[in-house]
Each structure stands twice: as C-alpha cells, then as structure tokens.
Amino acid sequence: MCASKVPEGRERGWIIPIGGAEEKENSPQILRRFVQLAGGNDADIVVIPTASQMRDTGARYERIFGELGAGRVSALDFDTRRDCDETSRISRLQQATGVFFTGGNQLRLSTLLGGTPVAKALRALNAAGVPVAGTSAGAAFISEHMIAFGDEGSTPIAGSVRLAAGLGLTNRFIIDQHFRQRDRLGRLLTALAYNPFAVGIGLDEDTAAFIAPDNTVHVEGSGAITVVDAAEVQFSSMDSVSEGRPVCLLGVKLHILTQGATFNLHTRQADAGSLVRPKA
C-alpha cells in the first residue's frame, strides 16, 4: 500500500508517532500539542482504541482530550473487519480534524483495518491535512512498514524481527516504541538491514516525533528519539548470515535527538536546533 496523493493546493497532515506511556495527567504536553494541531477548541477528534482489548481505553482518551479543550471527541472501535465497511463509521471518521490510535497490539490494527475502506479513508484524511497520531502500538502501525514483533537487545540478529504491512501514511520510516526502556536498538537495526531505504525512528516513552508536512521530525517530550539511518551502509551480512546469528553492518549513522532537535527525512540531515547555545 502507499500514501494517498495530496490534493493540489493542500499539504499533508502532521504524522505523530508516540513512544508509549505519554504523560496524560500532570503535564500532557504531547497530547496537548496534538489537540492544538487538530484545531484546539474546534478540534473534532476520533480515537481508535482497536489495538487495546481494555474496555475503558477509548473512554479514557475521550476524557483526556476533552479536558485538553477539544470541542468534540468520539471513540470509534473496530472489533471485526465487517465494522470497517459500515458507512456510518466511515462518515464519522471523515468528519474528524484529528485521529488518534491508542496502544495495545499493532497486529490487531493491521489484521482488522488493513485493506479496508477505513484504512483508505485514513490515508485520504492525512493527505488532505488531518493530523494522525498513535501511541505505542498505534505508533508502529502508522507507516507502510511495521515491526510486528521482535527480540530485545542491542545487536541486530538475523530472523529476530518480523515485519508486516502497516497503515501506509508514509514509507519514509519504520517506528519502534518504548525504545530505550525495552532495549530495542537491535531489532530496529535488524529491520533496516532487510531494506535500508527507510529511516529507523526509535521512540522513548513519553516522547513523540511530530513529523511536519515537509517531512521534518520535531521532538516533543521528556525522552529522546534515536534516528537510525542506513542509507549509506557499506556492507551488510544479512543475505548470508544464519538465522539467530549477529548481523554485520558497516556505515550505519545514528543520531540521538531530544526536544529542540530536528531531523529531515528527505535530506537525512539532523540539526541540534534550539539546543545549540548562542556564542557569548
């Protein structure tokens, strides 16, 4: 699948993957910024809690976004693929000025929503300017290539990661979440060793990548984003190493970005931004 074409004279909406465990009560800066991008007091947000199997997930985010000032918030769950064909649900989704995927199991999202009219509508909404955010499993699902599951650890291991098709808002990056907390550098490197085209984005908890329409990543939150750029890899042993063995990768670039730093997904250039102190 691929992203929908941006209509002439418009620009794509923000794409906002969140690393999970975002602050929801005391200082919810990530969720507050999402509400602002969705329209602030005029925001009409649809929450999709399909990844979660906890009954109160949708209602909890309805309350949170309402308290942050959103004008209207509705949880829209999809328990079966048949649900994704219902015109009333699709109509409600098409009214949204912002869409939010909760955490849970990303394979529930890909197996229930993949290839349905709902997935098509979501791609069209984002192409028309509607911001789409997702936390944890919801973050993993946003891009075309999704890490379905994989082993933890810092070393890339052949066969340790399984990829699946995601929503397809973009093909420029692969997301991994809870990154530092669950030691996931190795599995993101493994995913990129299969195909170095995409940029790897490892999101710490309570940290988000606010990806602007111009494909610039802006960091928001209390943690860091690990950017893995494999475009200039000089050698990879992925094609010859046995399953379960370490993979040799030469020439990988790695950036650690905190709030204020940016990364351009088109030029693959990192910038310390506001972190650079002015000269005295």
Structure tokens at 189: 């490197």
Catalytic position from the list 22, 62, 205, 220: 205
Are the CB atoms for 109 and 138 separated by under 8 Å?
Answer: yes
Choice among 136, 143, 160, 236 that is catalytic: 136
Separation between Cα atoms, residue 221 and residue 20, nearest integer Å: 11
Instruction: Quote the CA–CA distance of 215 and 267 in Å, as a whole number.
Output: 9
Parallel/antiparallel/unpaired status of strands 199-203 and 173-176? parallel
- Any residues with CB less than 8 A from the CB of 56 and at least 6 apart, and which? none
Q: How many CB atoms lie within 10 A of CB 58?
A: 21
Closest of 44, 120, 112 to residue 77, by C-alpha: 112
Count of beta carbons in the 10 Å neighbourhood of residue 262: 18
Is residue 8 part of the annotated active site? The answer reads no
With 0-12 / 13-18 / 19 or more C-beta atoms within 10 angstroms meaning exposed / middle / buried, residue 201 is buried
- 205 tagged catalytic: yes
266 catalytic, yes or no?
no
- Of residues 178, 218, 236, 255, which has the active-site annotation? 178
Active centre residues (catalytic): 136, 178, 205
